[in-house]
Structure 1
Amino acid sequence: MRETFNFPADSGVPPQVGPFSHATRWGDMLFVTGQMPTDPRTGKIVAGGLIEQSLQVKKNLEAVIAHFGLTLDDSLMVRVYLESFDDYDKFNACYRTWFTKALPSRTCVGVHGLAVGALVEIDLILGIPK
């Protein structure tokens, strides 16, 4: 059975910027909607460049999955959207530090633009351990 989850403003998860759920659980899998580099306290994109934005996206992903007792190490698949594919190597250097176990599968796509002027957006598919 499918369950969808939205989190209130005081949950540490940024507010939605469109018509979607923060996460959807299907059996032992969790699908997390793309997170932006939004500071959940202000609702604004964090200052700085790609690395600062990537680290905020990581925090936002961690805030969503913490509600399910998960960590990034439970990720099965990661999709990364970079506003400039010229940032691929810079992003990879940061991303490699996010995991303590084997890296999950990943797709990284260069795009022509992201919502709210972001430089990076990331969504996840995670396995929920039994």
Structure 2
Amino acid sequence: MTSRVETLTPPNTPKPIGPYNHIAKVGEHIWIGGTAGFDPETGQLAGADVASQTRQIFRSFEAMLAAVDSDLNHVTHINVFLKHMSDFDAMNEAYVEMMGEHRPARTVFAVQELPKPGVMLTMNLTAVTRQATSPVTR
């Protein structure tokens, strides 16, 4: 069986700022590229603080994952790129609020710059479709 790479950016998500799509999918495996806290309706940042931007990133992730038959409970790994590590606790509070009890693997990096002014963080993730597995939380 041959799998092909499908790429897409759902219409109800922020537009990419470069020559890429947000989602790549091969079979039941999903990758979502770097996503910032932009509201797709306004094109503006969801807020000037890391918590507002974190919540918006997860709302975008929810829409993107739904477009490829998945959800936050099927996320396997998240990378967080913080502009200021001093925002770690505020990001974590919003992260827990949006992720609920599911705790996928995660890596947090401090970065010197991000491509758009005012962006406090970006995230990317890997996930699987709902058909791939049932979520397990320990």
* TM-score, normalised via structure 1 length: 0.89
Distance in 2 (alpha carbons) for counterparts of 1:129 and 1:61: 15
Equivalent residue number for residue 54 of structure 2: 54
For structure 1, the residue ranges without an aligned partner over 5 or more in a row are none
Counterpart check, 1:36 vs 2:44: no
> Once the 2 structures are TM-superposed, how far is the Cα of residue 101 of structure 1 from its aligned partner?
4.2
Write 1 or 2 for the structure with the bigger share of helix.
1
Distance in 1 (alpha carbons) for counterparts of 2:130 and 2:89: 32
Distance in 2 (alpha carbons) for counterparts of 1:127 and 1:108: 21
* TM-score, normalised via structure 2 length: 0.85
- Give the count of matched residue pairs: 127
Extract structure 1 runs of 4+ deviating beyond 3 A.
Answer: none
Identify which range, 97-106 or 33-42, moves more after superposition: 97-106
Equivalent residue number for residue 5 of structure 1: 8
> Once the 2 structures are TM-superposed, how far is the Cα of residue 99 of structure 1 from its aligned partner?
2.6
Matched letter for residue 38 of structure 2: T
For structure 2, the residue ranges without an aligned partner over 5 or more in a row are 132-138
Equivalent residue number for residue 82 of structure 1: 82
Cα 1:129–1:63, aligned 2, differ >3 Å: closer, same or farther? Answer: closer
Q: Could you tell me the percent identity over the aligned residues?
A: 24
Matched letter for residue 42 of structure 1: T
